[in-house]
Amino acid sequence: MAAVTDEIPERPLPATKRPAAIAVFGPPAAGKSTLCRALLDPARVFRLREHVSGQTLRATQTTATSLGWIEPDEVARVLHEYFTSDATAPDSGDVLLDNFPGTGDQVHQWLSIMAEAAPGYRVVPVELDAEDSVLLSRAACRRVCADCEPDAAGEPRLPAAIAKANPSRCGDCGSILARRPTDEPRTLAHRILRYRRASAAIRIAFADHGLPVWTLDGSLDQQRHRALLTRLLTNEQGG
């Protein structure tokens, strides 16, 4: 594993660029969605839950006692459809996968789909991790907006802009903000534990395919995250 730091040399852009499919994974509240949103147009960010039905989402809902997980066949269907759609033709540019893959098995599944359906992409795995204390304090502050984020299961996930004048309201639409039920401390603790149990298998699975995982320090501020990931992608472009 290599860390994404300023030590990565800056290289000039190569004449031809293969688009990257960048998998950003890590524990809950590390800042994955924030980073993905800051880097690319929303249309270039893949989130599994945005491609499955409300019925599937409700059936796999995460609660304090059960951590929902979408069936492998459904995951395969969604990945295949996404990476063979016009939106992901290699000349459309880089794609970010926000919070995917979540297990070692999903790494193998995704990479075999990429080899068949989207061989023009190079895969760049990036783990955004932080100490539990950082995750807990970020989750405690995270608010979501049901009006700005339509969700098939009525469970918005993405961090909303908080109004400066009134922190209980959305900075974009003025609606009252809510906490994510999955940020409730007991559920959050389960989700962090699930991630910690899965993370070694994710790294090993990428290594099995000859793909080193880059690690990015989640405790850094958003501007640093953005600058470091941009630097990594520029550096890797010839790869």
Binding site for ligand ADP (CB under 6 A): 28-34, 138, 141-142, 159, 220-222, 225
- Our CB check for ligand ADP shows the closer of 187 and 237 to be 187
Q: How near is the Cβ of 63 to ligand ADP at its closest, in Å? A: 17
Rounded CA Rg of the chain: 18
Q: How near is the Cβ of 170 to ligand ADP at its closest, in Å? A: 13
- For the beta carbon of residue 14, count every other beta carbon within 10 angstroms: 11
- Our CB check for ligand ADP shows the closer of 89 and 141 to be 141
Q: How near is the Cβ of 192 to ligand ADP at its closest, in Å? A: 11
Q: How near is the Cβ of 31 to ligand ADP at its closest, in Å? A: 3
What residues contact 151, with CB distance under 8 A and at least 6 apart?
49, 57, 157
Strands 122-129 and 20-25: parallel
Q: Can you tell me the distance from the alpha carbon of 167 to that of 128, in angstroms, rounded to the nearest whole number? A: 27
45 touches 96 (CB < 8 A): yes
118 touches 135 (CB < 8 A): no
- Our CB check for ligand ADP shows the closer of 122 and 203 to be 203
Task: Say which amino acid occupies 68.
Answer: G
**DSSP element (H, E) containing 98:** strand 95-98
- Our CB check for ligand ADP shows the closer of 37 and 80 to be 37
Q: Can you tell me the distance from the alpha carbon of 143 to that of 108, in angstroms, rounded to the nearest whole number? A: 33
Q: CB burial class (10 A; 0-12, 13-18, 19+) of residue 27?
A: buried
Q: How near is the Cβ of 13 to ligand ADP at its closest, in Å? A: 26
- Our CB check for ligand ADP shows the closer of 217 and 236 to be 217
- Our CB check for ligand ADP shows the closer of 34 and 237 to be 34
**Residue with the closest Cβ to ligand ADP?**
31
- How far from chain centre, in Å, is Cα 94? 14
Q: How near is the Cβ of 128 to ligand ADP at its closest, in Å? A: 7
Q: How near is the Cβ of 29 to ligand ADP at its closest, in Å? A: 4
- Our CB check for ligand ADP shows the closer of 32 and 203 to be 32
**Dihedral class, residue 60 (left if φ above 0, else alpha if ψ from -120 to 50, else beta):** alpha
